[in-house]
Structure 1
Amino acid sequence: METDLAEFEVKSPQDRTIMHVLYGLHTLAWFSGGVFAVIAVIINYVRRADESDAFYVMHHNYMISTFWWTLLWLVVLSPLWLLFVLPGFIAYGIVWLWYLYRCVRGWMRFNSQQPV
């Protein structure tokens, strides 16, 4: 399904900067113990509620769903840490790589003005 970007309103450079900051916070979340991700997802919810541009709403939804799926997988995989450190480390490493992939992919698509 192709999205017609001509129907979207023109956004200000500030709106684009905020989206870049949100993608950056999500991408760097692992280095803050998840604090950046929590801050970013709260801002995603607030900004999405006032957003009229479907393209921006789509990217907010993408970041929000990435956050919640990552949190779900971290909780589901947390018992692996009880077995031994290595299985938990490997599982969390895979989740981290998936999260990083989603953040970078979404950020690149946003920067190219493409839907996710």
Structure 2
Amino acid sequence: MSSLPNLSKTEKVIQSNNTLNQNILNQDLIIYNHATYALTMFGYFTAGIVWILPIIMNYAKRDEARHTWLYSHFDWQIKTFWYGVFFGGIGLVLMVFGFSVSFIGMVVDNHALFGGSGLVGVVGGLMFVAVLIWHFYRTVRGWIALNNRKAVP
């Protein structure tokens, strides 16, 4: 308590209690963040269906972490989710559209339609896989930073 100069004894006790309460809140939010990272990782085994749970959980608790290093983890996971949905969705649409039109071109024996749209499908598939790898990387990187009690960039 000597690190709190120029405060009355009551003010020092209040300050100490506030610090203790903040540490308890931080510990709860750390555990909460571990749960959201774990659910995100579990989502890889459910074709991403479970990913909606951690995003809802992150929005629900993000404001409680404002002005702490934990806020970066909530924000990191939210951005990872939405960028993944956007770019992964583009890749998925290109892949499905490209391969569907390519299949139609093959059926009607149109080589130009078959080749060009097949390339679109391949590009979309590569984009989708790249987004999955990027999403996995960000999840692991964030979880490691949380485990080390550090903010993510």
Q: Aligned-residue CA RMSD in angstroms?
A: 2.0
CA distance in 2, matches of 1:75, 1:89: 11
Matched, 1:51 2:65: yes
Per the TM alignment, residue 101 of structure 1 is displaced from its structure 2 partner at its CA by 0.1
Larger helix percent: 2
- The corresponding residue for 1:70 is 84
Structure 1, unaligned stretches of length 5 or more? 1-7
- The corresponding residue for 1:3 is none
TM-score by length of 1: 0.80
Q: Which of 66, 83, 91 is the aligned partner of 2:98?
A: 83
Structure 2, unaligned stretches of length 5 or more? 1-18, 100-120
CA distance in 2, matches of 1:22, 1:32: 15
Given residue 58 of structure 1, which amino acid in structure 2 is its aligned partner?
S
Matched, 1:108 2:144: yes
> Which has the larger Rg?
2
SS at match of 2:151: coil
Q: Give the number of the structure with larger relative contact order, counting CA–CA contacts within 8 Å between residues 6 or more apart.
A: 1
TM-score by length of 2: 0.63
The percentage of aligned residue pairs carrying the same residue is 24
